[in-house]
Structure 1
Amino acid sequence: MIELRPFDSLGTFRNEWLNAHHHFSFGGYHDPERMGLGRLRVWNDDEVAPGTGFDPHPHRDMEIVTYIREGAITHRDNLGNEGRTEAGDVQVMHAGTGITHAEYNMEKTPTRLFQIWIMPDQRGVAPGWGTRSFPRDDRGLSVLASGRPADAGSDALPLHADAAVLAGTLAEGQTTELRLAPGRAAYLVSVTGSITVNGVAASPRDGVAITGESTLTIKATNATELVMVDVAA
């Protein structure tokens, strides 16, 4: 089944420095039909104003993935980690037994990102953080972060969850095919262009929830960047 979630149907939050859209229930936005997909719990589409950001705050027992679409984000945490992740790249934070972090846009332009929360397979893992640069080309989707057994030994950032975050670009008119193993679900967002997923049309930043499908045929109506999460359903 392919369920389209139009961008204008998402939950919203806005203040003087943050413009956020929530694909799943989050903060003050609650929709009992959008509580998550398998172990995928949060997908926020955030725009952070220059020179602002998220002040230090704690998390526990969550895998938090940040994919930068435009600009960059600077991470700091109480473990002593600090780093800058820029457009097209990804950072992963393991909240585990507890971590306090801050995320700031130190750039002169807005930063646009996806923040994705995935519930870990076990509680109480060691907290940590990592970031990595990945090539962007018209070759379909590549695995950026994963805890799937099939991705063990790859150069993907590790996740403490049977899930994977994939991203890539498609040229106008290009088609890519993906297989979903039995019992898996996926959530897909096209960043900049329109696409079809198994014939269902989606506009930029719409959410596409996928269950019960073994093969995905994704065609780019316009050149675009794609981000997808694969999880146990």
Structure 2
Amino acid sequence: MIELRPFDSLGGANHGWLDAKHHFSFADYHDPSRVNWGNLRVWNDDTIAPKTGFPPHPHRDMEIITYVREGAITHEDDLGNKGRTEAGDVQVMSAGTGVRHSEYNLEDVTTRIFQIWIIPTRSGDAPAWGAKPFPKGERSGKFVTLASGYENDNDALPIRTDARIVAATLKAGETAEYPIGKDRKGYLVPATGAVTIGDIRVNARDGAAISDLDVLRVTAIEDSEIVLVDAA
């Protein structure tokens, strides 16, 4: 089953420095039919103005994945971590028992990110942070795992949950397959371009909620960059 969630149907709020769109209930936006998708709890599509950002604030017991679509985001936390993550790259913060962090766009250009929250499968661990570049050439025409809760995904950033975040860049006409399994929940968003899943067209920044599907087949209508969460 594929449930299309068009971009113009998303909740959100424009705070001036931040234009946020919410695929799931978040902050002042609440839709009882869009609270979570399996253990995927949040998918925010954030546009952050230059020289602005999220000031220090706390989190706990959440896996927070940031996929940078344009620009860059600079992270700093009370664990002593600091790093700049550029477009196409990923950072992961396991909030664990508690962490306080900031995320700023220190660039001269607008930064656009997907911020993804997944409910952890365990609690009580110390917080952790990591970031990694994922060259788009390495995921050309195929899905590559960016972050994973499984030990055999050695090249991926670790997360403490039964989930995997994968991405692909497809040229127009290319098809990529991902063996998701009928017992899993998938949520796919094109960062750019447009794709089809079966006979359903998914445009840039639309969401596609996927269930009861053995193998996901995605075909690009135009050059596309896609992100998928494989959730429990």
**CA apart distance, 1:194:** 1.1
Asked if the contact 2:74/2:105 (under 8 Å) is kept, the reply is yes
Q: State the shift of 1:43 in Å.
A: 0.1
Aligned counterparts of 1:160 and 1:204: Cα–Cα separation in 2: 29
Partners of 2:152 and 2:105 lie apart in 1 by 35
Deviates more, 1:105-114 or 1:182-191: 182-191
Structure 2 gaps of 5+ residues are none
Counterpart secondary structure, 1:222: strand
Q: Secondary structure at 1:54's aligned position in 2?
A: strand
Match for 1:110: what amino acid? T
In the other structure, the counterpart of 1:58 is 58
Describe the SS at the equivalent of 2:112.
Answer: strand
Q: Report the alpha carbon displacement of residue 27 of structure 1 after superposing the two structures with TM.
A: 0.2
- Residues 195 and 202, structure 2, Cα contact 8 Å, conserved in 1: yes
Q: Cα deviation per residue 1:93-120 (whole Å; 9 max; x = unaligned)?
A: 0100000000000000000000000000
The answer for the alignment partner of 1:167 in structure 2 is: 167
Aligned to 1:12: 12
Q: Say if 1:198 and 1:216, in contact at 8 Å, map to a contact too.
A: no
Cα distance, 1:155 vs structure 2: 1.0
Aligned to 1:83: 83
* 1:172-193 superposed Cα distances (whole Å, 9 cap, x missing partner): 1111111112411100001111
Partner of 1:71: 71
Is the Cα contact below 8 Å between 2:70 and 2:111 reproduced in 1? Answer: yes
Indicate the residue corresponding to 2:145 in structure 1: 143
Q: Distance in 2 between matches of 1:177 and 1:13?
A: 34
SS in 2 for 1:221: strand
Relative to the length of structure 2, the TM-score reads 0.97
Bigger drift between 120-129 and 52-61 goes to: 120-129
Instruction: Detail structure 1 runs of 4+ shifted over 6 Å in the superposition.
Output: none
Letter in 2 for 1:166: V
In the TM superposition, residue 150 of structure 1 has moved relative to its aligned partner by: 4.6
Please tell me whether the aligned partners of residues 143 and 177 of structure 2 are also in contact (alpha carbons under 8 angstroms): no
d(CA) in 2 for partners of 1:42, 1:144: 17
**1:193 alignment partner, SS class:** strand
**Is the 1:149–1:162 Cα contact (8 Å) retained in structure 2?**
no
What is the rounded CA distance, in whole Å, between the counterparts of 1:178 and 1:128 in structure 2? Answer: 29
| Alignment-derived partner of residue 34 in structure 2 | 34
For residue 120 of structure 1, what is the amino acid of its counterpart? P
SS of 1:187 mapped into structure 2: strand
Contact between 2:134 and 2:146, CA under 8 Å: does it hold in 1?
yes
Q: CA deviation at 1:123?
A: 1.3
**Residue 224 of structure 2 aligns with which residue?**
224
Gaps spanning 5+ residues in structure 1: where? none
Identity value in percent: 57
Cα distance, 1:199 vs. partner? Answer: 2.2
Residue 121 (structure 1) aligns with: 121
Look up the match of 1:155.
155
RMSD of the alignment, in Å?
0.9
Aligned residues: 230
- Report the Cα distance in structure 2 between the residues aligned to 1:5 and 1:16, rounded to whole angstroms: 25
TM-score under structure 1 length normalisation: 0.97
What's the secondary structure of 1:8's corresponding residue? helix
Cα offset, 1:203, TM superposition = 1.1
Letter in 2 for 1:187: Y
